[in-house]
């Protein structure tokens, strides 16, 4: 069964909450209700991101808006290796019908699948709301 979860930043504390997302039109508020506590929190709609249904290589859930480190290692015939890694943003692509990783300044993207998580050693290193500087080369 699919695990449909969201996260968002609370409007009053700025803390992240995880659970089910809905819009309360009576009070004009965006809400995330936590799964375990059954509590509802008002969240900033700009920060709401859906769980992609994929964990990174460390088992951390990947959400829309996460910044991930991705790449690969090349092993040469002489036994030496070179790492080629970059940081990118996870986002849903309407035109492709899937989650993708876009890297600033790059004209292409990677589809986010179980295979690419493993092949590209994808790991969550932050998100675009709290750690946007990670996309500028800082880490």
Does residue 123 have a pLDDT over 60? Answer: yes
Give the residue, 44 or 110, on which the prediction is more confident.
44
Q: Is 78 helix (H, G, I), strand (E, B) or coil?
A: coil
pLDDT bracket for residue 104 (50, 70, 90): confident
pLDDT bracket for residue 136 (50, 70, 90): confident
| % of the chain beyond a pLDDT of 70 | 97
pLDDT bracket for residue 100 (50, 70, 90): very high
Pairwise CA distance, residues 135 & 86, whole Å = 9
Burial of 101 per CB tally in 10 Å (0-12, 13-18, 19+): buried
Pairwise CA distance, residues 97 & 58, whole Å = 25
pLDDT bracket for residue 138 (50, 70, 90): very low
The answer to whether 83 and 76 have CB atoms below 8 angstroms apart is: no
Say if pTM beats, i.e. exceeds, 0.75. Answer: yes
Does residue 38 have a pLDDT over 60? Answer: yes
Closest CA relative to residue 102, chosen from 90, 93, 119, 117: 90
pLDDT bracket for residue 137 (50, 70, 90): low
């Amino acid at each position: 069964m699919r695990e449909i979860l969201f996260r968002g930043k609370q409007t009053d504390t700025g803390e992240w909450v995880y659970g089910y997302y809905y819009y309360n039109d009576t009070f004009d508020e965006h809400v995330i209700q936590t799964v375990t506590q059954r509590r509802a929190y008002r969240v900033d709609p700009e920060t709401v991101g859906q769980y992609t249904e994929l964990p990174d290589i460390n088992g951390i859930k990947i959400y829309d808006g996460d910044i991930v480190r991705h790449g690969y290692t090349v092993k040469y015939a002489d036994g030496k290796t070179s790492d080629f890694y970059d940081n990118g943003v996870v986002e849903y692509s309407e035109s492709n019908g899937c989650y993708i990783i876009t890297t600033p300044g790059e004209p292409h993207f990677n589809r986010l699948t179980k295979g690419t998580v493993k092949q590209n050693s994808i790991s969550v290193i932050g998100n675009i709301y709290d750690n946007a500087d990670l996309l500028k080369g800082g880490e």
